[in-house]
């Protein structure tokens, strides 16, 4: 993949991918800075990072559900370490603080890394979800620069959008490189189950609120998507145990009216004279793991016929919003791995160029700016941000189509073209050619203003990209 | 059982009447009425989505405030006692000086009407009022539900802080699913500075299994922040359900009985302490005035000799003249200072708005108003609001300073010389909301038409030229030229349009700022005039009282001169008895205030 890495940026050929261009630029920088051990170490670090899976940081205010969301994504319940914790794929469970291995213990059925004063813990865990993703659980209060410096993309968690949340996201967008290559952030309403006092339909109204945030003028330019996730429920869905399911089934065997009074509050649920024979400790365990809302929902679901563990898990994954969260991570983060990595590397290079200016660095800075300005992937991102933020508006249907074609819903050609069936190769080809021709017209349409025509030409370039993908 | 302060006050009023001082009696009666009918405002405050409205609903056991899953409360809602349930929306005045408009609505539609306001078109809605018959509210308690603090729309937050100024006590709401955050603690501290009577309510304990731990942590947070406030865990869901089913045990579990008891004890009872203090101050000042002439009379008799009584009489006359001379002075001071104040305030406001306008001009030298107009609008609104608030705060500060200055030039020094409050209650309602300027949109059709117009000239020009060379009018060259001309015209036109848009935006902004300036400066002037009027009334009442006291001493001095000896004896005894009575009364007043009033400085 990095075979063209030796090429110098001076002899770049047309059609070179962004990845190759950035790699070459890093190589050039290494040559310029070969006598500075600090810069070399920094740049080598960024080169190494280039080949890694996408790093996604999970950030947010205290108690916004960060560790819970991380646990739900990995499929294993972790006790928060209180430090910045990296979760990577690995053959067996292992944890490191610096170079030292620390034991991974079990505490109340949760994975527990015993590293009390560590600043940074790296956990390796065998999980399919971590194959193309590294998750970083950042403790609340981590400075914005650290979060966005370490990670390629960010899941920002909040319970309810507060002005402090807005400030955090606005600061993240203030960096010059970040501005030309809009940061990929997904906003997550992470404790959706608590909305409306834990009513049984809390999740659907949480989804509506997320939809409102997607349209809110102050929020839209700062994140690519907003989704509601019931964190506790999502973790429970992925880790529900046989005995827990049995206990829930026993609860569900009672009539709704009989159980109702005992589900009024968490205190009542673990209280005396319970109608079923369930040990208070078991009930305490259930309410801790599922939340009172989770118990209400699961018993209702079991009564509605999702009465096996597999059926229930499927329902919970879907209802908790975990499925949607995974899709968003796929569309916005892992599919865009290349551009996210390139962006992170350029940000890293920018730091070196500014910290240690020297004769050769002016040329590097120009090359960096050129890549930022001309690389199509960045132009796609910028257009997408402009369309979402309302800075660029296209007439009628074109607006939605343009944002789809530049990868607003995902970068797969089928998604870009909005095809909901599996087309034959010639059908696909026709569709691309047809779209391309239409957008070429738009790009030269005198009825559109300059900005709109420029937007259209970015779309044209995206269509051409799809075409070469088909041919190649 | 009547409160002890009431007895003392009534006795003092009677003493005033007995001593021929109906003016003092009137003033005390006024105070008595105000203390007997106290509107005790309890503000429910907190960050968004903590369960403030639901808390109010659960306290009065009725769905009076709108609750919802997303941001719901947009204006403060006042819940107070009424014989029959009623509700009303209060809209702000569209023209300054006209009172706010009160529109009654059916009580069951209030919630939906208030949240319907969310769209922003009915932006002038100031507050909602609900009256329901409840024993809790019977004592004059008013619960005020407020929009969440820290919401993305700053307009909601502003009205919360406006309501905070009138609050007697505050219920700070935070839910049990998370500990108090840094921003919540900051809010709490801010609240404490303007109203120290705060209870922190931990809501939603039904859905939080770990609420006891959160409660402990919160207690620690409060201790660390140096905030001494009670923490009460409650569950509105349980309370409302208990009300529906009549389940006493569930009601107890909801924590509301404890909360209501706390409101009764700490807030309603604390109001009694507050009342005692104000009553004590007023009564003490009245008694002092009663004592003065009696003492005058006694000392006049003690000296016995007619020469001395005549000297006393002369002295009294001299002091009355002195008072008349000096009251002219304080009136001039007040008038001068207020005139200065008004012009300074106006100058300050003009300066602030001019700065904003300059910024606007600078922005639209380069920026295209068609893009980012919303952001600009929000910016402008924010800046104007800020200018208005600073300006207004300054007005208040200055007028307090004026009050002090007038008090200094007042002939005598007294404890209650400074008025308690000179500001009208509704002064904050008076700042009228602002209209948004519109910016014209231009159509694509127009553009195409402009292009055509340009190209027509090109085709004709070159067509004619080439027709000399024997080519038809419409040929390749003329068409090419037409396209070129068309393109250029569109470019020119869109450049021109940009400039026109910028000019329009500047004009709209400056019109808006002008409107704002005119409206707001009028409001400020009105407020200043109001303040001046209340200051003048306050000081003239004081002056009249003083004069009356002096005249009374003069009269008794004159009587002393005229009275014959035996009569003198009898009156002497009477005066002594009266003085004893007054001193006794004064001691009771002192006991009431807990030794906070200064000693009378006389011995009977």
- Same domain? B524 vs B393: yes
Stretch B174-184: mean pLDDT = 89
Using the beta-carbon criterion (under 8 Å), do A163 and B179 form an inter-chain contact? no
Chain A neighbors of B214, CB-CB under 8 A: none
- Has residue B275 been placed in a domain? no
Q: Please tell me if residue A211 touches chain B, with a CB cutoff of 8 Å.
A: no
Q: Please tell me if residue A215 touches chain B, with a CB cutoff of 8 Å.
A: no
Å between A269 CA and nearest CA of chain B: 9
Select from A240, A292, A285 the least CA-distant residue to A266.
Answer: A292
Q: Please tell me if residue A396 touches chain B, with a CB cutoff of 8 Å.
A: no
Using the beta-carbon criterion (under 8 Å), do A163 and B235 form an inter-chain contact? no
pLDDT for A415-464, tens place per residue? 898 888 888 888 899 999 999 999 999 998 888 888 889 899 999 999 98
Q: Which pLDDT belongs to residue B557?
A: 77
Mean pLDDT, all residues of chain A:
86
- Same domain? B424 vs B456: no
Is the predicted pLDDT of residue A155 greater than 90, yes or no? yes
- Same domain? B72 vs B204: yes
Chain B neighbors of A445, CB-CB under 8 A: none
Q: What are phi and psi of A185, to 5 degrees?
A: -130, 135
In this prediction, what percent of chain B has a pLDDT beyond 90?
A: 7
Using the beta-carbon criterion (under 8 Å), do A205 and B208 form an inter-chain contact? no
Q: Which of residues 134-173 of A touch B (CB under 8 A)?
A: 159-164, 166
The neighbour count for residue A335, using CB atoms within 10 Å, is 18
CA distance B472 to A414: 51
CA distance B373 to B368: 8
- Same domain? B200 vs B249: yes
Name the residue in chain A with its Cα closest to that of B448: A447
Expressed as residue numbers, the domain containing B307 is 294-437+507-593
Chain A neighbors of B444, CB-CB under 8 A: 395, 447-448
In this prediction, what percent of chain A has a pLDDT beyond 70?
A: 94
Q: Which pLDDT belongs to residue B579?
A: 85
- Same domain? B384 vs B464: no
Length of chain A: 472
Using the beta-carbon criterion (under 8 Å), do A195 and B179 form an inter-chain contact? no
Å between A388 CA and nearest CA of chain B: 13
Stretch A74-81: mean pLDDT = 90
Q: Please tell me if residue A209 touches chain B, with a CB cutoff of 8 Å.
A: yes
Is the predicted pLDDT of residue B118 greater than 60, yes or no? no
- Same domain? B150 vs B161: yes
Q: Please tell me if residue A192 touches chain B, with a CB cutoff of 8 Å.
A: no
Q: What are phi and psi of A101, to 5 degrees?
A: -85, 135
From the list A61, A391, A395, the residue facing B181 with the nearest CB is: A61
* 8 Å CB contact between B168 and B271: yes
- Has residue B604 been placed in a domain? no
- Same domain? B332 vs B403: yes
From the list B179, B204, B238, the residue facing A264 with the nearest CB is: B238
Chain B neighbors of A447, CB-CB under 8 A: 444, 447-448
Q: Which of B229, B254, B279 is the last residue of a domain?
A: B254
Domains of chain B: total: 3
A–B interface: beta-carbon pairs under 8 A: 106
Q: Rounded to whole angstroms, what are the CA distances from A377 to A338, A403, B306, B430?
A: 9, 13, 110, 54
Q: Which of B254, B280, B314 is the last residue of a domain?
A: B254
In this prediction, what percent of chain A has a pLDDT beyond 90?
A: 34
Is the predicted pLDDT of residue B223 greater than 80, yes or no? yes
* 8 Å CB contact between B68 and B115: yes
Stretch B472-481: mean pLDDT = 80
Å between A265 CA and nearest CA of chain B: 4
The residues pairing with B105 across neighbouring beta strands, listed in sequence order, are B87
Mean pLDDT, all residues of chain B:
79
Å between B213 CA and nearest CA of chain A: 13
- Has residue B280 been placed in a domain? no
Between B34 and A229, where is the model more confident? A229
Query: Per CB distance under 8 Å, which residues of B are interface residues toward A?
Result: 47-49, 51, 54, 68-70, 150-152, 175, 177-179, 181, 183, 204-211, 235-238, 241, 250, 253, 371-372, 374, 444, 447-448, 451, 486-487, 490, 494
Chain B neighbors of A63, CB-CB under 8 A: 177-179
Chain B neighbors of A159, CB-CB under 8 A: 49, 177-178
> pLDDT tier at A7 (50, 70, 90 boundaries)?
very low
pLDDT for A308-347, tens place per residue? 999 999 999 999 999 999 988 988 889 888 888 988 898 8
Q: Please tell me if residue A80 touches chain B, with a CB cutoff of 8 Å.
A: no
- Same domain? B338 vs B427: yes
pLDDT for A351-391, tens place per residue? 888 888 888 888 898 998 888 888 888 888 888 878 876 77
Stretch B68-97: mean pLDDT = 78
CA distance B271 to B275: 6
pLDDT for A178-190, tens place per residue? 666 666 889 999 8
The neighbour count for residue B438, using CB atoms within 10 Å, is 8
Using the beta-carbon criterion (under 8 Å), do A265 and B206 form an inter-chain contact? yes
- Three-state SS for B268? helix
Stretch B192-220: mean pLDDT = 88
Is the predicted pLDDT of residue A230 greater than 90, yes or no? yes
- Same domain? B426 vs B490: no
Report ipTM for this prediction.
Answer: 0.81
* Best of B152, B237, B444 to mutate (most A CBs within 10 Å, chain A): B152
Stretch B156-169: mean pLDDT = 73
Cβ-based burial of B51 (10 A; exposed 0-12, middle 13-18, buried ≥19):
buried
Q: Which of B224, B254, B284 is the last residue of a domain?
A: B254
Q: Which of residues 274-313 of A touch B (CB under 8 A)?
A: 284, 287-288, 291-293
Chain B neighbors of A295, CB-CB under 8 A: none
Å between B484 CA and nearest CA of chain A: 12
Å between B159 CA and nearest CA of chain A: 17
Å between B167 CA and nearest CA of chain A: 25
Between A42 and B592, where is the model more confident? A42
From the list B205, B372, B447, the residue facing A265 with the nearest CB is: B205
Using the beta-carbon criterion (under 8 Å), do A208 and B444 form an inter-chain contact? no
Contacts of B323 (CB under 8 A, 6+ apart): B411, B543, B546, B547, B550
pLDDT for A104-139, tens place per residue? 888 878 888 888 888 899 999 999 989 999 999 999
- Has residue B412 been placed in a domain? yes
Using the beta-carbon criterion (under 8 Å), do A209 and B238 form an inter-chain contact? no
From the list A198, A208, A212, the residue facing B207 with the nearest CB is: A198
From the list B207, B235, B250, the residue facing A293 with the nearest CB is: B207
CA distance A162 to B181: 12
Contacts of B541 (CB under 8 A, 6+ apart): B27
- Same domain? B454 vs B498: yes
Å between B62 CA and nearest CA of chain A: 17
Is the predicted pLDDT of residue B213 greater than 50, yes or no? yes
Chain B neighbors of A197, CB-CB under 8 A: 51, 54, 204, 206-207, 236-237
Q: Which pLDDT belongs to residue B90?
A: 82
- Has residue B139 been placed in a domain? yes
- Has residue B602 been placed in a domain? no
**Lowest-pLDDT range of A224-238, B96-110, B534-548:** B96-110
pLDDT for B234-253, tens place per residue? 999 899 889 888 888 889 98
> pLDDT tier at B117 (50, 70, 90 boundaries)?
low
Q: Which pLDDT belongs to residue B604?
A: 37
Stretch B40-45: mean pLDDT = 87
What counts of helices (H) and strands (E) characterise chain B? 16, 9
Instruction: Say how many CA atoms lie within 13 Å of A54 toward its Cβ.
Output: 25
pTM score of the predicted model: 0.65
* 8 Å CB contact between A406 and A457: no
CA distance A457 to A394: 13
Stretch B530-551: mean pLDDT = 83
- Has residue B17 been placed in a domain? no
Please provide the DSSP assignment of B146-200 as one string.
-PPTT-S-HHHHHHHHHHHTT-SEEEEEEETTSPPPHHHHHHHHHHHHH---EEE
CA distance A190 to A159: 6
| CATH assignment of the domain containing B250 | 3.40.50.300
- Same domain? B378 vs B232: no
> pLDDT tier at A57 (50, 70, 90 boundaries)?
very high
* Best of A62, A160, A226 to mutate (most B CBs within 10 Å, chain B): A160
- Has residue B21 been placed in a domain? no
- Same domain? B300 vs B152: no
Stretch A265-287: mean pLDDT = 88
Residues B63, B67, B73, B79, Cα dihedral to 10°: 20
CA distance B534 to B521: 20
């Amino acid at each position: 993949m990095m075979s063209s890495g030796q090429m110098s940026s001076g002899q770049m050929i047309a059609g070179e991918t962004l990845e190759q261009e950035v790699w070459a630029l890093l190589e050039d920088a290494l040559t310029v800075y070969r006598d500075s051990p600090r810069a070399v170490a920094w740049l080598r670090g960024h080169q190494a990072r280039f080949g890694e899976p996408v790093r996604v940081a999970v950030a947010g205010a205290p108690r916004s559900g960060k560790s819970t969301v991380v646990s739900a994504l990995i499929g294993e319940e972790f006790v928060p370490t209180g430090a910045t914790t990296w979760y990577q794929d690995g053959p067996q469970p292992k944890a490191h603080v610096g170079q030292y291995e620390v034991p991974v213990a079990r505490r109340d059925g949760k994975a527990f890394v015993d590293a009390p004063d560590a600043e940074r813990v790296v956990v390796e865990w065998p999980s399919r979800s971590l194959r193309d993703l590294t998750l970083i659980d950042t403790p609340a209060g981590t400075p914005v620069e650290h979060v966005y410096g370490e990670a390629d993309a960010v899941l920002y968690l909040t319970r309810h959008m507060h002005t402090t949340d807005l400030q955090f996201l606005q600061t993240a967008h203030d960096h010059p490189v970040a501005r030309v290559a809009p940061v990929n952030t997904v906003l997550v309403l992470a404790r959706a189950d608590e909305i409306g006092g834990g009513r049984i339909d809390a999740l659907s109204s949480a989804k509506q609120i997320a939809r409102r945030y997607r349209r809110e003028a102050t929020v839209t330019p700062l994140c690519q998507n907003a989704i509601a996730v019931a964190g506790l429920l999502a973790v429970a869905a992925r880790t529900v145990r046989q005995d827990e399911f049995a206990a829930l089934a026993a609860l569900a065997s009672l009539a709704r009216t009989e159980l109702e009074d005992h589900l009024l509050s968490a205190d009542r649920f673990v209280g005396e004279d319970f109608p079923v024979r369930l040990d208070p400790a078991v009930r305490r365990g259930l309410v801790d793991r599922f939340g009172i809302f989770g118990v209400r929902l699961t018993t209702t679901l079991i009564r509605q016929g999702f009465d096996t563990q597999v059926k229930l898990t499927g329902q919970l994954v879907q209802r908790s919003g975990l499925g949607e969260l995974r899709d968003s991570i796929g569309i916005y983060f892992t599919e865009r791995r290349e551009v996210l990595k390139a962006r992170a590397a350029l940000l890293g290079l920018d730091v070196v160029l500014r910290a240690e200016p020297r004769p050769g660095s002016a040329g590097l800075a120009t090359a960096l700016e050129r890549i930022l300005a001309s690389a199509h992937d960045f132009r796609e991102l910028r257009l997408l941000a402009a369309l979402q933020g309302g800075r660029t508006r296209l007439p009628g249907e074109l607006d939605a189509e343009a944002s789809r074609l530049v990868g607003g819903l995902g970068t797969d050609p089928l998604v870009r073209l909005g095809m909901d069936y599996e087309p034959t190769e010639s059908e696909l080809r026709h569709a691309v050619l047809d779209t391309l021709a239409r957008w070429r017209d738009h790009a030269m349409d005198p009825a559109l203003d300059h900005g709109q025509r420029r937007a259209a030409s970015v779309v044209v370039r995206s269509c051409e990209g799809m075409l070469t993908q088909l041919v190649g | 059982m009547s409160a002890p302060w009431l007895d003392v006050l009534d006795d003092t009023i009677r003493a005033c009447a007995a001593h021929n001082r109906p003016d003092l009696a009137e003033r005390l009666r006024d105070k008595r009425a105000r203390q007997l009918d106290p509107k005790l405002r309890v503000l429910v405050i907190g960050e968004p989505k903590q369960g403030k409205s639901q808390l109010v609903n659960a306290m009065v056991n009725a769905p009076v405030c709108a609750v919802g899953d997303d941001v719901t409360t947009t204006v403060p809602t006042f819940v107070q006692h009424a014989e029959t349930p009623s509700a009303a929306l209060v809209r702000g005045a569209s023209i300054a000086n006209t009172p706010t408009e009160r529109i009654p609505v059916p009580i069951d539609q209030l919630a939906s009407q208030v949240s319907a306001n969310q769209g922003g078109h009915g932006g002038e809605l100031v507050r909602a009022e609900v009256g329901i018959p409840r024993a809790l509210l019977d004592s004059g308690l008013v619960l005020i539900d407020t929009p969440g603090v820290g919401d993305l729309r700053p307009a909601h937050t502003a009205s919360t802080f406006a309501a905070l100024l009138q609050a007697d006590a505050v219920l700070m709401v935070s839910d049990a699913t998370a500990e108090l955050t840094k921003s919540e603690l900051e809010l709490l501290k801010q609240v404490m500075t303007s109203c120290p009577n705060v209870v922190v309510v931990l809501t939603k304990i039904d859905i939080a299994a770990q609420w006891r731990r959160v409660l402990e942590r919160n207690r620690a947070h409060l201790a660390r922040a140096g905030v001494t406030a009670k923490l009460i865990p409650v569950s509105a869901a349980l309370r409302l359900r208990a009300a529906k089913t009549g389940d006493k045990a569930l009601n107890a579990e909801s924590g509301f009985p404890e909360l209501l008891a706390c409101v009764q004890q700490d807030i309603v009872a604390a109001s009694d302490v507050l009342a005692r203090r104000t009553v004590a101050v007023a009564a003490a000042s009245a008694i002092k005035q009663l004592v003065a002439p009696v003492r005058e009379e006694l000392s006049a008799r003690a000296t016995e000799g007619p020469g001395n009584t005549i000297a006393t009489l002369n002295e009294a006359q001299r002091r009355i003249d002195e008072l008349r001379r000096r009251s002219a002075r304080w009136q001039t001071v007040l008038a001068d200072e207020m005139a200065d104040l008004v012009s300074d305030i106006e100058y300050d406001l003009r300066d602030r708005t001019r700065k904003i306008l300059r910024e606007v001009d600078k922005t639209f030298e380069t920026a295209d108003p068609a893009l980012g107009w919303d952001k600009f609008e929000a910016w402008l609104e924010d800046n104007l609001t800020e200018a208005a608030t600073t300006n207004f705060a300054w007005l208040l500060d200055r007028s307090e300073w004026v009050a002090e200055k007038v008090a200094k030039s007042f002939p005598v020094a007294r404890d209650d010389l400074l008025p308690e409050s000179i500001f009208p209650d509704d002064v904050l309602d008076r700042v009228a909301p602002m209209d948004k300027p519109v910016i014209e949109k231009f159509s694509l059709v127009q553009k195409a038409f402009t292009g055509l117009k340009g190209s027509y000239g090109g085709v004709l020009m070159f067509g004619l030229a080439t027709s000399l060379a024997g080519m038809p009018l419409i040929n390749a060259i003329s068409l090419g030229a037409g396209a070129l001309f068309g393109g250029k015209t569109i470019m020119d036109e869109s450049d021109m349009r940009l400039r026109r848009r910028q000019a329009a935006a500047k004009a709209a902004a400056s019109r808006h700022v002008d409107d704002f300036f005119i409206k707001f400066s009028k409001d400020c002037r009105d407020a200043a005039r109001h303040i001046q009027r209340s200051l003048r009334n306050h000081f003239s009442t004081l002056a009249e009282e003083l004069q009356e006291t002096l005249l009374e001493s003069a009269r008794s001095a004159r009587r002393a001169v005229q009275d014959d000896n035996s009569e003198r004896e009898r009156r002497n005894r009477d005066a002594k008895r009266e003085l004893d009575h007054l001193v006794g009364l004064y001691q009771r007043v002192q006991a009431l205030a807990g030794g906070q009033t200064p000693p009378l400085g006389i011995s009977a």
